[in-house]
Amino acid sequence: MGLSTAIDTALDRTIAPGYGNIGLLIRRKLPGWPADAGRMDGRTVLVTGAASGIGLAAVVEFARLGARVLGVVRSEERARDLTRLVAEEDTTAAARVTPMAADVSSVEAVRDLARRVAADHERLDVLVNNAGVMPDERTETADGVELTFATHVVAPYVLTLELADLLAAAAPGRVVNVTSGGMYAQRLAAHDLETREDAYAPKRVYARTKRAQMVLTEELAERLGPRGIVVHAMHPGWADTKGVRQWMPVFRAVTRPIIRTPAQGADTIVWLGGAQEPTRSNGLLWQDRRPRPTHLLGRTRESPADRQHLMEHVAAIADAATIGAGR
């Protein structure tokens, strides 16, 4: 196991092999590779960002394992597409998938989604916060929140808390926040969480919000752990998704020989949702079924005050949306 751990750690720190398909293929052959999730019959899973890429791959695999899957997409048109796309992968799995339309960048839309889920389900076993965006220029939502921050940070916060009762009813209920290895280069931008002052650079803002999402994961794990809810984050490595092709074409061209398939990127999401090992801890970052450091550079570490500021800022956005909706 010592050599196995050393190889795994070396892959993680050298990034290119570890984040590509080579890293996953090597790790699967190492002694101690964790067993697959196993059957999930009778369990209910919700996945946001389900229309393509890693989200779609996770939906298909959860359904193949027997789970009832609620696939959240941005519009009714995408909901129809999801049904077709899952059927193209596996017709048996498609029968277990229910598409749900919701723009998760809107606090009220997220709350409406949670109400619809609660109306039809007494428990929720797994919530996967996977929806992601990388707009070319700074954009605000109808709530007046920067779009990337709203999608990556506010939406997981609101949806997790709104569904907490259903997750607690399935104890151990599980939350999986899909982050990015790009966060390792960024610290929490507590001075400018919504990029109102700093120059807007899409990739940097994306990575900053993923750093914020990691902090959110740890804070929600501490808050919800006593209720039997496990909250973890994972990063999928470099996966060939629609977002990568659209927003990072040069990166995709360079990494094409080793880039992962969406299914390979989704592997740890499904494992976190179904295996027993992840329920024995809380608030960790995972990649390829192993916990990983949340920081590789000392300069990216945030202070307790910065963490508190993030949580207060997100809570204030949620509260303001509540008041704006007249509730």
Q: List active site positions.
A: 206
Do residues 172 and 228 touch, judged by C-beta distance below 8 A?
yes
Do residues 25 and 51 touch, judged by C-beta distance below 8 A?
no
Do residues 43 and 167 touch, judged by C-beta distance below 8 A?
no
What is the spatial distance between Cα 223 and Cα 148, in angstroms, rounded to a whole number?
24
What is the spatial distance between Cα 55 and Cα 259, in angstroms, rounded to a whole number?
17
Q: Which residues contact 194 (CB under 8 A, 6 or more apart)?
A: 145, 146, 149
Interhelix angle 262-274/21-29, rounded to 10 degrees, is 50
Instruction: Give the three-state DSSP class for 232.
Output: strand
Amino acid at 96: R
Do residues 167 and 229 touch, judged by C-beta distance below 8 A?
yes
The token pair at 230 is 């496990």
Ordered strands of the 229-234 beta sheet: 97-101, 68-73, 44-48, 126-129, 173-178, 229-234, 285-287, 290-292
Torsion angle of C-alpha atoms 179, 181, 187, 190, degrees rounded to 10: -20
Do residues 306 and 188 touch, judged by C-beta distance below 8 A?
yes
How long is the chain? 327
The CA distances from residue 95 to 3, 48, 60, in Å, are 44, 18, 11
Do residues 232 and 272 touch, judged by C-beta distance below 8 A?
yes
E strand or H helix that includes residue 45 = strand 44-48
